[in-house]
Amino acid sequence: MDNVVDQFAKFIELKNVTVISNGKTILDIGHAIIPADRITACIGANGAGKTTLLKLLDGLIKPDTGSVSYSFDTSTALVLHHTPMIKASARMNMGMITDVDPNISARDINRMLDKVGLSTLASSPAHKLSAGERQKLCLGRALLQKPNLVLLDEPTANLDPNATEQVEKMIHEFDQNGTDVIFSSHQLAQVQRLAQYIIFIDGGQIKEKGPVGPFFLNPQTPAAKRYLHQELLSE
């Protein structure tokens, strides 16, 4: 761990973190440095703790023990896999963000609808949009908060290839525009396309982390080797 912090312009540090729910330990992380200056992917089996980690990094939940600290002034936006829509238009659903930031104007909302390709559907009922369209709406709503770190939980789950490509393009644009991204995914091909850094979680613990290339070429832990073997077979 010597000088590992020097590798990252921005990072999040977890110390002695546990998250417990109904008597079950969901996360148990002794010490971890997570980069926040690049696209980072959080991978692991279902139930490993990926979503809980993203909620923790966002501040949506607090650790039962330990601390989460940031090397930078953080402004995060979290987009969960299942984000409910109110029974109203796409524009009104996008406009819900003004409850968080009343300085966001109607013009800002219209510009974002156009940016994410939903301007022609602005008056359509949001709950009747396709899965890909709803995801773009959620990403646009997150962008309106002007975050410097976006946290995405399975951002392309259950999307068709065209919608997946559009969402991945938006993730690249986040990065190019100075908004860093931490996302979870079970699609290893997607992780290799998008991510620069890997966080591998197994049983609520970060078992391995590092640059994407070396992780896929030569995982260091039995858990990571087993996970990659199983997932690559399923793909």
The owner of tokens 């800002």 is 108
Amino acid identity of residue 135, one-letter, is Q
pLDDT in tens, the chain (235 residues): 435 555 888 999 999 999 999 999 999 999 999 999 999 999 999 889 999 999 999 999 999 999 999 999 989 999 987 777 888 999 999 999 898 888 999 999 999 999 888 999 999 999 888 888 998 999 999 889 888 999 999 999 888 888 899 889 888 888 777 889 999 998 899 999 999 999 999 999 999 999 999 999 999 999 999 999 887 655 5
Q: Is the pTM of this model over 0.85?
A: yes
CA angle 71/73/79 to nearest 5° reads 100
Return the pLDDT at 100: 84
The continuous run of DSSP H or E covering 117 comes out as none
Reply yes or no on domain 4-234 having CATH 3.40.640.10.
no
Q: What is the pLDDT of residue 158?
A: 83
For residue 145, what pLDDT is reported?
87
- C-alpha dihedral sign at 100, 144, 94, 85: negative
Count CB-CB contacts under 10 A for residue 226: 13
Domain ranges across the chain = 4-234
CA distances from 23 to 18, 31, 63, 88 (A): 12, 22, 14, 39
Q: E-assigned strands of the chain?
A: 11-21, 24-35, 39-43, 65-70, 76-79, 149-153, 180-184, 197-202, 205-211
Q: Which of 91, 153, 144, 85 is nearest to 118 (CA)?
A: 91
Letter for the amino acid at 60?
A: L
Q: What's residue 1's pLDDT?
A: 40
Strand partners, 182: 40, 151
The reported pLDDT for the residue numbered 2 is 38
| Three-class DSSP category at 84 | coil
Give the SS3 label for residue 47.
Answer: coil
